[in-house]
Structure 1
């Protein structure tokens, strides 16, 4: 089914592509269960979760009763968390080496200054782990130096080697750095460092292991497109958004989207595309963005919000990358408008919780607008129907900011 065709949805297949996240898929299931119940209470509809018929632990089944219809949705998480965990398995010294390489990738290429012109929030998020890790190293060095001086003098007074003082200082330095790392669940410096380092490792090119995983994702989606669903919906969140772009571009190029199959929708949420697409060797991603933006086989809606400091809010990922073709028709760029769709009390509660806000797209809104994640995934309208006639946000950013525009 092409983007222009319409059909009431009774059965939907949803594939969710997470961002750089090491967690088990049950985390997404529990988030959906909790937030769907909250949204259903607010909006006056009913959503029930159950096990997928296949018994696959990487997903869940949803029954949505809303707008006078009942919809069955099968939701599957397309996992790459094992790749994330492997990339995060770095020691303290290796993380500091990562920091140097990643800083050079973004600063040396000039990319960091280009993305700063688009949105300052993601730029601050990129510089944050560097600043924090350097501050931690500074504290550890000062403490280690102090301990070395004091204990060295003490050992010398006892007629022992002053080298023992330097050993004590080094152990102190390492112990402090290790303690800082143990606190990272609260400050996210190591986590963010590994995230940006993974993207920048090959200057924007996908590493072989991730390419292989994207091919597996494409196979799963292609299989669903040949089954009896009314809609196949791909949801890409954060860095999962640009992975979704590449998977869908591969599928369409290979002729694996049947002309008379289910309606195909792509919902990208809280994207960070410039952090990857602006790097020198991201020709593959830039080519995929250009290609997908002109395809009529799907409907592509991109949702961000200025209140999300971790995303490139309202930045058209194709246009700002500088690869928009003359016949570009996607994505439809709209805002989740947190300051309007969240009550003043809820906004005050969340506005400083930056990482929580980055997941708000998957959560309940107490003043929902036309963006409602649970109506999209469990309601009777396809993505194309739901946003038919919807105008893009007037505040969207389309100016080209990317210094590297060659494509694969």
Structure 2
């Protein structure tokens, strides 16, 4: 069921609270696998909200967050004649990401081989290709690119060794052989280090570490991540006790599957008050199958099935075929093979980049694949019904905004996952 469900009086009900107008809201944002400080997201929000407000004729004003705790900011908005106050908090795990990326060159290549082995031998890679080719190509990209860099380094080393043998060995004998070999290895190491230094342009190491982090336990969450997710749940549970109208959790990219488990834990534990704020979940650019298709992802698959049938929240999933890094229009619950009887969520639809961006803007962004993966958090110069800033700072709850909105007809729901167990 994709429509928002009505209550007894015909009005939509979300998480035990009536849908409708929002005067005060709390937003929690879980980034994807990102090693950068959360101020990056504040600056992105500031810049893009100003652009969207100018296009859509509303006003947004950002100020520093007044309370302590997690990193965030406050937004005062005037949209559709209503004044809305929103506090946005970033649920940070960038320190965990940084730590996972802190590996040497040899360890990185061993990590690459192990990750490729897990996806290929488990059959996950083949089944992922049956959904969308784009994210699979994105997954193979770092493998091909890093192996290509290694091949160039080996080639350069070979050339140095041969040159050394021609110029030095005849005079120094065995010592010359060793000197030429060491020079070749040194050149190879320098070249590989240079490739890593410029990775902010090509993202090969970054993507490799991203996939390796999810695959290291074959889909199970690392212990340090589970601990951090418990903290995320505590922050959201505290907000649900506030005198506000909506608590909105936004997950982007790899942050989506973290958000799924955080919300499932909250609801199972009875920490969502029936008469409290509306609880909403917006998943953007999700890559859930990259994890849920792995053999030990029972925890995630169980959480997907639980959340899909819950009446404690509203869940809207937004992707776009123009985003080659996401599993666009793939229902993350259905394709994972765990759709429960009475499935309600998520409502899956497209941000329709080719329609919500002008031809000139689309031409500018079309081949900037990583930038497009963040377009959900940015302004559209021809906005349709998806507007990140109206969702996070506007006068309607997520459920009220998309009341009656049909799911995209071209969504993919085929249960192609090989692994559907929800218990270890």
Deviations 1:346-376 (A, max 9, x none): 0000000000000000000011111100000
Matching residue within 46, 51, 55 for 1:33: 46
- Number of the residue aligned with 1:91: 104
Distance 1:214 1:55 in 2: 19
Q: Which 4+ stretches in 1 moved above 6 angstroms?
A: none
Do the aligned residues in 1 keep the contact of 2:220 with 2:298 (CA within 8 Å)?
yes
DSSP-derived class of the 1:396 partner: coil
Mapped pair 1:102 → 2:132: no
- Cα separation, 2, equivalents of 1:324 and 1:331: 11
1:363 aligns with 2:378: yes
Name the counterpart of 2:62.
49
Tell me the equivalent position of 2:129.
116
Q: d(CA) in 2 for partners of 1:369 and 1:396?
A: 18
What does residue 399 of structure 2 align with?
384
Q: Matches of 1:399 and 1:10 in 2, distance apart?
A: 40
| Contact preservation (8 Å) 1:2, 1:259 | no
For residue 125 of structure 2, give the secondary structure of its aligned residue in structure 1.
helix
Q: Is the 8 A contact 1:249 1:288 kept in 2?
A: yes
C-alpha distance after superposition, 1:42-86 (max 9, x if no partner)? 000000000112155710000110111000000000000000000
Of 279, 283, 290, the match for 1:268: 283
Aligned with 2:236: secondary structure? Answer: helix
What's the CA shift for 1:397?
A: 0.3
- Would you say 1:231 and 2:246 are equivalent positions? yes
Corresponding residue for residue 352 of structure 1 = 367
Per-residue CA deviation, residues 378-403 of structure 1 (Å, 9 max, x unaligned), is 10000010001000000100001110
Identify unmatched segments of 5+ residues in structure 1: none
1:152–1:165: 8 Å Cα contact kept in structure 2?
Answer: yes
Post-superposition offset of 1:152: 2.2
| From 312, 328, 334, the counterpart of 2:327 | 312
Contact persistence 1:153–1:165 (CA under 8 A): no
Per the alignment, in what secondary structure is the counterpart of residue 309 of structure 1?
coil
Instruction: Note the alpha carbon deviations across 1:171-205, whole angstroms, 9 max, x for none.
Output: 11111111111111100000000000000000000
- CA distance in 1: counterparts of 2:179 and 2:377, whole angstroms: 55
Residue number in structure 2 paired with 1:214: 229
Q: TM-score, normalised by structure 1?
A: 0.99
- Alignment of 1:8 onto 2:21: yes
Task: Judge conservation of contact 2:132–2:327 (CA < 8 Å) in 1.
Answer: yes
CA distance in 2, matches of 1:346, 1:393: 24
Map residues 281-360 of structure 1 onto 2, 5 A cutoff.
281-360=296-375
In structure 2, which of residues 32, 39, 51 is the aligned counterpart of residue 19 of structure 1? 32
| 1:289-341 deviation digits (Å, cap 9, x = unpaired) | 00000000100000000000000000000000000001100000010000000
The RMSD of aligned alpha carbons is: 1.0
Q: Is the contact between residue 14 and residue 280 of structure 2 (CA under 8 Å) also seen in structure 1?
A: no
